[in-house]
Amino acid sequence: MNNVMKTEFSALAENEAFARAVAAAFVMPLDPTVEELTEIKTAVSEAVSNSIIHGYEGCADRNEAKVIMECTISDGGKLVITIEDNGVGIGDVEKAMEPMFSTGDSEERSGMGFTVMESFTDRLKVRSEIGKGTTVIMTKYLDIISGI
Ligand SMILES: Nc1ncnc2c1ncn2[C@@H]1O[C@H](COP(=O)(O)OP(=O)(O)OP(=O)(O)O)[C@@H](O)[C@H]1O
Ligand SMILES: [Mg+2]
């Protein structure tokens, strides 16, 4: 079974919950475990909140600021989730991905978003360009019973 969906939404804080719910609903036909579902929702939340908070930091027109989420399910339960923004971009991706690294407010941000995405998925890839935006690609292999 191959299945694809794509959704585009405004970079507003309330859409973090929307994105989580949409990703969870999309994987439902694969009958994920509660643990897998929690991991997917949490990883999506981290990526989407990064786009909203950091990608579009200081952006006044939130209707123009968009986040795009694309999910693909392919044979064998391979789930690929891509979350993209056209925001400020990241200068040093390697540094940004280090545990506890954050450019945000130290009271609110712990710098653990990428670490969470990494531990809750099987593969994490981050592409970014200053002034152009950031794309986060997460791959997760779901434990599905073949033949169903
Ligand atoms: N989409 C993005 N656009 C621009 N910068 C980003 C983006 N995502 C992450 N970053 C940069 O990478 C840093 C690390 O991100 P990470 O999610 O690990 O931590 P955080 O968001 O600062 O804190 P936390 O996620 O724990 O609240 C951010 O502080 C920010 O500088
Ligand atoms: Mg974060």
Residue written as tokens 């909203």?
52
CA distances from 41 to 68, 70, 116 (A): 16, 14, 11
Q: What is the pLDDT of residue 9?
A: 97
**CATH code, residues 3-141:** 3.30.565.10
Q: What is the pLDDT of residue 1?
A: 66
Please state the domain extents for the chain.
Answer: 3-141
Q: What is the pLDDT along the chain (148 residues), one digit of tens a residue?
A: 699 999 999 999 999 999 999 999 999 999 999 999 999 999 999 999 999 999 999 988 887 899 999 999 998 899 999 999 999 999 999 999 999 999 998 888 999 999 999 999 999 999 999 999 999 999 999 987 654 4
Choose the catalytic residue: 16, 36, 39, 46: 46
CB under 6 Å to ligand 1: residues? 46, 50-51, 54-55, 85, 87-88, 90, 96, 101-104, 109-114, 134
> Measured in angstroms, how far is the CA atom of residue 23 from the centroid of ligand 1?
21
Residue written as tokens 């027109």?
61
Q: Is 109 a catalytic residue?
A: yes
